[in-house]
Amino acid sequence: MRNIILSALGVLLIVGAIFIGKEIANSKKKQRQAPAKVVKTVFTDTVDNAVVQIVIPATGNLVAKRRVEIFSEVQGIFRSTGKLFRPGQEYQNGQTIIRVDATEHYASVQSAKSVLYNSIAAIMPDLRLDFPEVYSKWQNYLNGFKLDNTTPKLPEMTSEKENYFITGRGIITNYYNVKNLEQRLTKFNIRAPFKGILIEALVTEGSLIRNGQKLGEFIDPSIYEMEVALGKSYANLLKVGETVSLNNLDKTQTYTGKVSRVNGSIDATTQTINAYLEVSGANLKEGMYLEANLNAKSEDNAIEINRSLVLEGDRVFVVRDSILDIVDVNPVYFSDTKAVLKGLPNGTVILSKSVPGAYAGMAVKPFESNPKSTSLDN
- Digit-coded pLDDT (tens) for 172-224: 999 999 999 999 999 999 999 999 999 999 999 999 999 999 999 999 999 99
Q: What is the DSSP string of 297-316?
A: EEEEEEEEEEGGGPBTTTEE
What counts of helices (H) and strands (E) characterise the chain?
Answer: 5, 21
What's the pLDDT tens digit per position in 228-271?
888 777 767 677 888 888 988 888 888 999 989 888 888 888 88
Residue-level pLDDT at 71: 96
Residue 227 sits at the vertex; the CA angle it makes with 229 and 255, to the nearest 5 degrees, is 115
* Bridge partner residues of 294 (DSSP): 56
**What is the mean pLDDT of the segment spanning 3-27?**
68
What's the pLDDT tens digit per position in 102-141?
999 999 999 999 999 999 999 999 888 888 898 999 999 9
Residue 7 clears pLDDT 60, i.e. is over it: yes
Cα-Cα-Cα-Cα dihedral of 44, 49, 53, 54, to 10°? 70
Residue-level pLDDT at 118: 94
Residue-level pLDDT at 373: 45
Residue 368 clears pLDDT 80, i.e. is over it: no
- State whether residue 172 is helix, strand or coil: helix
**Do 258 and 323 form a contact (C-beta atoms < 8 A)?**
no
Residue-level pLDDT at 44: 87
Residue 1 clears pLDDT 70, i.e. is over it: no
Q: Where are the domains of the chain?
A: 42-55+299-368, 56-63+222-297, 70-95+192-219, 104-185
Looking at domain 56-63+222-297, which of 3.40.47.10, 2.60.40.1260, 2.40.30.170, 3.40.50.1000 is its CATH number?
2.40.30.170
What's the pLDDT tens digit per position in 49-102?
888 887 778 888 999 999 999 999 999 999 998 899 999 999 999 999 999 999
Residue 227 clears pLDDT 80, i.e. is over it: yes
Q: Is residue 218 packed enough to be buried (19+ CB in 10 Å), middle (13-18) or exposed (0-12)?
A: buried
CATH number assigned to the domain covering 42-55+299-368: 2.40.420.20
Residue-level pLDDT at 374: 44
Residue-level pLDDT at 56: 79
Spatial distance between the Cα atoms of 124 and 286, rounded to a whole number of angstroms: 61
Spatial distance between the Cα atoms of 276 and 299, rounded to a whole number of angstroms: 25
Q: What are the residues whose beta carbons fall under 8 Å from the beta carbon of 157, sequence distance 6 or more?
A: 134, 163, 166
**What ranges in the chain are assigned the alpha helix state H?**
2-28, 103-130, 132-143, 160-168, 171-185
Looking at mean pLDDT, say which of 18-22, 49-53, 285-289 comes out highest: 285-289
Residue 26 clears pLDDT 70, i.e. is over it: no
Residue 361 clears pLDDT 80, i.e. is over it: yes
**Could you tell me which residue, 146 or 3, shows the higher pLDDT?**
146
Residue 269 sits at the vertex; the CA angle it makes with 263 and 275, to the nearest 5 degrees, is 20
Residue-level pLDDT at 356: 86
Spatial distance between the Cα atoms of 175 and 39, rounded to a whole number of angstroms: 101
Q: What are the residues whose beta carbons fall under 8 Å from the beta carbon of 287, sequence distance 6 or more?
A: 61, 62, 63
- State whether residue 44 is helix, strand or coil: strand
Residue-level pLDDT at 324: 87
Cα-Cα-Cα-Cα dihedral of 362, 367, 371, 376, to 10°? -70
Residue type, 254: T
Q: What is the DSSP string of 239-266?
A: -TT-EEEEEETTS--EEEEEEEEE-SS-
Rg (CA), the chain: 45
Residue-level pLDDT at 371: 47
Residue 143 clears pLDDT 50, i.e. is over it: yes
Of 195, 177, 193, 196, give the one whose Cα is nearest residue 185. 177
Residue-level pLDDT at 39: 76
